[in-house]
Amino acid sequence: AASGLTNPTEMEIAPDGRIFVAQEEGTIRLVKNGVLVSKPVVTLTGVDAYSERGLLGITVDPGFATNHYLYVYYTAGTNNSPTSHNLISRLTLNGDVVVPGSEAILLELPALGNALILMGGALHFGPDGKLYISVGDWALTANSQSLTEPTGKILRINADGSIPTDNPFYNTA
């Protein structure tokens, strides 16, 4: 068992057995052969980890063995700032660390305002090769019933961040 993790939020096991662990404050750690690697995979800058915000989700690309892509869901901004918002990014690895400057923001969600809880954040690729993203309702339950709000939903996007044309409501919302 690996020790030395701080506020882990999610982990993902790569096809080669490495375990990537997301920590709330924005650091991704690596467990390799059952041992926590001392050097972080990356420490994302500008992560807002106040309350239930932070680095909340992580997954590997289905083609990870060749493209070395990690996807993350995190809250960008400063603590309790009205400009804080959740986003989904793709990072590229070189060995056990992220290539500097490789972050590609794929999707930015609306500003959180005063929302502090129920952020969501799970990321998983489906058998269709699409990225599925759980977005919390921020304790605004009416949002989950509204087609004009992306919160309180499971979003489905292509690995490049574009919206699949076969998504429900593709042409209407």
Q: Are strands 69-76 and 85-94 parallel, antiparallel or unpaired?
A: antiparallel
pLDDT in tens, 153-164: 999 999 999 999
- How is residue 98 written in tokens? 């992220």
pTM of the predicted structure, to 2 decimals = 0.93
pLDDT at 147: 86
Cα–Cα distance, 89 to 108 (Å, whole number):
9
Q: Are 140 and 146 in contact, with CB atoms under 8 Å apart?
A: no
Q: How confident is the model at residue 172 (pLDDT cuts 50, 70, 90)?
A: confident
- How is residue 160 written in tokens? 């490049």
Strands (E), 44-125: 55-60, 69-76, 85-94, 97-98, 104-111, 120-125
Q: What mean pLDDT do residues 61-76 have?
A: 97
